[in-house]
Amino acid sequence: MKLAVIGTGYVGLVAGVGFADSGNDVVCVDQDQNKIDMLLRGEVPIYEPGLNTRLARNREDGRLTFTTDTAAAVRQAEVVFIAVGTPPGEDGSADLSHVRAVARDIGRAMNGYRVVVNKSTVPVGTAEKVRDEIVAITDHPVDVVSNPEFLKEGAAISDFMKPDRVVIGTTSERARKVMSELYAPFVRTGNPIIFMNNRSAEMTKYAANAMLATRISFMNEVANLCDLAGADVNKVRLGMGTDPRIGNKFLFPGVGYGGSCFPKDVQAMMRTGAEYDFPLQILDAVHSVNEHQKSLMARKAVAHFGDDLSGLTFAMWGLAFKPNTDDMREAPAIILVRELVSRGAKIVAYDPVAMPVARDLLSGNVEYRDNPYEALEGADALLVITEWNRFRNPDFERIRRALKEPVIFDGRNLYEPERMRENGFTHYTVGRGTVRA
């Protein structure tokens, strides 16, 4: 099939590469000339494991091309995907200006029937808005399909190639057939394509992300209570998660959720509730628990060192909101850095891939090192913020020698309190108590 994917970010690029990989001819479009120039040179603008090799292969085979020319891409395509950003507006609602602008570009370029597929995360009712934008410009027939994307950054390629499920929102038989053919190679093992109407598909994406965010905030509250009550959240998590009705995934407490999806999608769903005069009380709590959790490690640092942190240096392992990505959008590290720096502290950070992005975002407040152990030299304490695998089993002797004081704020519960006691550390956790050197 001939496809155009408009928006070449985390979702659009992965989708473009994935569809090309199953034999389709894909043109990826972006308005960002720099991004397209990089891709035309064979460079990948984002960090995503496995993306570069697959991208190179499909480019070489001639199935994947890049352009800034939306009209040309739309004219040659049978199916046009919209995968542009839907950032939060002033009031938390999803800003649809990019989606609407692309809809108008599509309408202007159409020279026959098109299936227009919305892959961006958009509020209920957006498919109708997209359709209205298009039919106001063109007389050619169009079906607008809602096809939310569930990939996880850091595992985007495998999630896209082997999705747990594909959700397709449409009431058009013609579009349903096209979408079934397109996705057939991705669901050969029997994972379902779930068809529904557009509004249900749009709601599904928000409900799924809101549920995941709820699990995180719930576990963060359980962990904080464990700390106060002398329970170990790690045991509690295992004890809960073995109940199949609960399941063992997504029960890890930490420094709060971040990234480009959960924070904005929770807010946008709350806005949708407000528009229907139906305040979503659970999400209100999920959001405020998360805001509080982002500064948990700063509060623990203040409890240890006192209110005034001037003259102190904190080594920070991890900056991105999760491992295997360089995405710093809404990363809890941003809040943590701000809190510590506002109290006079200095931060020396290491992240395997997010440092170039963090440099632009955190300005002069942070120094960076190319190696996690270098970041420790002369620091007063270590903060572990992102659960990169390489931080799980470090050389504790080397950490102890490098730090002025053997203090670790373990924001991801990577280290066993008992082992930290044996190694002579003061170890702060999220819900596993505190070991004192």
**Calpha distance 362→72 (Å, rounded):** 39
Beta bridge partners of residue 143, listed in sequence order = 115
Distances (CA, A) of 152 to 159, 354, 372: 7, 17, 26
Q: Which is nearer to ligand NAD, 264 or 300 (by Cβ)?
A: 264
Token output for 328: 């710093």
Indicate which single residue of 151, 201, 354, 407 sits in contact with ligand NAD (rule: CB under 6 A): 151
Q: Which is nearer to ligand NAD, 149 or 339 (by Cβ)?
A: 149
Beta bridge partners of residue 410, listed in sequence order = 384
User: x/- binding map, residues 327-366, to ligand NAD, per CB under 6 A?
Assistant: ----------------------------------------
Task: Say which residue the tokens 């809404």 belong to.
Answer: 330
Listed ranges 25-33, 241-249, 334-342, 347-355: which one lies at the site for ligand NAD (CB under 6 A):
25-33
Rounded to 10°, the helix 198-229/262-275 angle is 120
Residue 399 beta carbon to ligand NAD: minimum distance, rounded to whole angstroms: 32
Indicate which single residue of 58, 93, 118, 120 sits in contact with ligand NAD (rule: CB under 6 A): 120
Binding residues for ligand NAD, total number by CB under 6 A: 27
> Would you tell me how many other CB atoms lie within 10 Å of the CB of residue 129?
17
- State the alpha helices, DSSP H only, in 230-280: 233-241, 262-275
Residue 97 beta carbon to ligand NAD: minimum distance, rounded to whole angstroms: 8
Which residue is at the shortest CB distance from ligand NAD? 9
Q: Which is nearer to ligand NAD, 65 or 426 (by Cβ)?
A: 65
Residue 82 beta carbon to ligand NAD: minimum distance, rounded to whole angstroms: 9
Residue 146 near ligand NAD by CB under 6 A:
no
Residue 121 near ligand NAD by CB under 6 A:
yes
End-to-end CA distance of the chain: 63
DSSP-assigned states of every residue in 403-435: SSS-EEEETT--S-HHHHHHTT-EEE-SSS-EE
Indicate which single residue of 143, 153, 202, 339 sits in contact with ligand NAD (rule: CB under 6 A): 153
Span 187-216, contacts to ligand NAD by CB under 6 A: none
**Calpha distance 120→430 (Å, rounded):** 34
Span 253-282, contacts to ligand NAD by CB under 6 A: 260-261
Name, in order, each residue with C-beta under 8 angstroms of 77's C-beta and a sequence gap of 6 or more: 2, 3, 4, 27, 114
Catalytic residues: 261
Residue 29 near ligand NAD by CB under 6 A:
yes
Is-contact 82 7, C-beta < 8 A? yes
Span 63-102, contacts to ligand NAD by CB under 6 A: 70, 83-86, 98, 101-102
* DSSP helix/strand/coil, 437: coil
Identify the CA nearest to 250 among candidates 276, 278, 212, 205. Answer: 212
Q: Which is nearer to ligand NAD, 322 or 427 (by Cβ)?
A: 322
Q: Which is nearer to ligand NAD, 24 or 146 (by Cβ)?
A: 146
Residue 35 beta carbon to ligand NAD: minimum distance, rounded to whole angstroms: 6
Distance of CA 428 to the CA centre of its chain: 26
**Calpha distance 159→324 (Å, rounded):** 14
Q: Which is nearer to ligand NAD, 33 or 189 (by Cβ)?
A: 33
Q: Which chain residues interact with ligand NAD by CB under 6 A?
A: 6-12, 29-32, 35, 70, 83-86, 98, 101-102, 120-121, 149, 151, 153, 260-261
